[in-house]
């Protein structure tokens, strides 16, 4: 008889939804599963500005430590929270099919950035989102906004902000009915891995890896691998807003990428295509292209980007 599997998860409503999604599929396949809630550094920091505290990795470190100790068997992360390299002994075993990778604009009386009144206050804690907002509308006022999805929505409802930006996948997973409009990729490229989940195990845990095999979605895995290679090629945790989105079209990957300064005054963008079997090479090639065209000048001058909130 196979052993029960333990999933490690943050305690937020969205993280528990994600862990529950994986649990339900494992149980449907006949495995006994329970979820262990783990408080991460990012959770303990509360409303402290993430760019000043290390950004990406804050929401996964303690869960990965529990995985390495054997306290849990599986970790379910938002892919965009996961650093581009894993600790020795851990692997991303499963990448399920991606949800909507776009961002949403939640605003009163406007469904596009261009329709917002002059001087509108836009809330986001993401330098990636802020720079792209300002590139389209430099007249807008971008203000920092932190907290879980529900907290940010309450602040918008309370009038603290005229508009806020949220990840479509997080809103859908929470089942929220909001008067929000998706932002096209021409206005807002998503964070690397946005909309995708990363299910991590110990590299030597053949049982857990086999149990997850049926949930793996190779096209999503290839697209995300290209995006993460692009981020890694630009320096991984480099200090500038970076965005990317890849999609698999038949046997081909199309990758779009962006690096910018936080003020939105300068952006370097590009696109790369190639075989879906060469995802990492495509991402690294686009990173080299952007660096050669001036992205290197942008990277040292901005604060470290946090892992985007949903």
Judging by beta carbons within 10 Å of its beta carbon (0-12, 13-18, 19+), is residue 100 exposed, middle or buried? middle
Residue 111's closest CA among 156, 159, 165, 155?
165
Report how far residue 79's alpha carbon sits from residue 62's, in angstroms, rounded to the nearest whole number.
Answer: 16
Distances (CA, A) of 101 to 5, 79, 122, 203, 247: 29, 11, 20, 28, 10
Q: What is the CA radius of gyration of the chain?
A: 19
Decide if 24 is catalytic. Answer: no
Query: Hey, how many other C-beta atoms are within 10 angstroms of the C-beta on 206?
Result: 10
C-alpha distances (whole Å) from 85 to each of 10, 148, 237, 277 are 20, 25, 11, 20
Beta-strand runs (E) in the chain = 5-9, 33-37, 74-78, 90-94, 103-107, 121-123, 141-143, 163-167, 180-182, 197-202, 242-249, 252-260, 267-275
Catalytic pick from 43, 73, 81, 289?
A: 81
What is the set of active-site residues?
81
């Amino acid at each position: 008889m196979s052993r029960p599997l333990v999933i490690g998860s943050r305690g937020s409503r969205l993280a528990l939804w994600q862990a529950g999604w994986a649990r339900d599929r494992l149980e449907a396949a006949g495995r006994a599963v329970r979820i262990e809630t783990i408080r991460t550094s990012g959770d303990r920091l509360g409303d402290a500005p993430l760019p000043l505290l290390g950004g990406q990795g804050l929401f996964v470190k303690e869960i990965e430590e529990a995985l390495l100790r054997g306290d849990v068997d599986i970790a379910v992360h938002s892919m965009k929270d996961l650093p581009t390299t894993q600790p020795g002994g851990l692997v991303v075993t499963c990448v399920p099919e991606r949800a909507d990778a776009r961002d949403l604009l939640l605003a009163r009386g406007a469904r596009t950035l261009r329709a917002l009144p002059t001087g509108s206050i836009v809330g986001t804690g993401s330098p990636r989102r802020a720079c792209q907002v300002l590139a389209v509308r430099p007249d807008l006022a971008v203000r920092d906004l932190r907290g879980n999805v529900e907290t940010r929505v309450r602040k918008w409802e309370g009038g603290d902000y005229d508009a806020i930006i949220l990840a479509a996948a997080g809103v859908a997973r929470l089942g929220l009915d909001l008067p929000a409009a998706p932002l096209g990729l021409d206005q807002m490229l998503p964070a690397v891995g946005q909309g995708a989940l990363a299910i991590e195990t110990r590299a030597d845990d053949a049982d857990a890896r086999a149990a997850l095999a049926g949930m793996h979605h190779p096209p999503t895995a290839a697209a995300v691998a290209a995006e993460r290679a692009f981020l890694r090629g630009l320096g991984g945790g480099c200090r500038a807003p970076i965005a990317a989105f890849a999609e698999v079209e038949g046997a081909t990957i199309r990758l779009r990428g962006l690096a910018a300064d936080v003020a939105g005054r300068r952006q370097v963008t590009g696109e790369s295509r190639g075989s879906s079997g060469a995802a990492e090479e495509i991402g690294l090639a686009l990173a080299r292209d952007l660096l050669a065209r001036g992205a290197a000048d942008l990277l040292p001058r901005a604060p470290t980007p946090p892992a985007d909130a949903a």
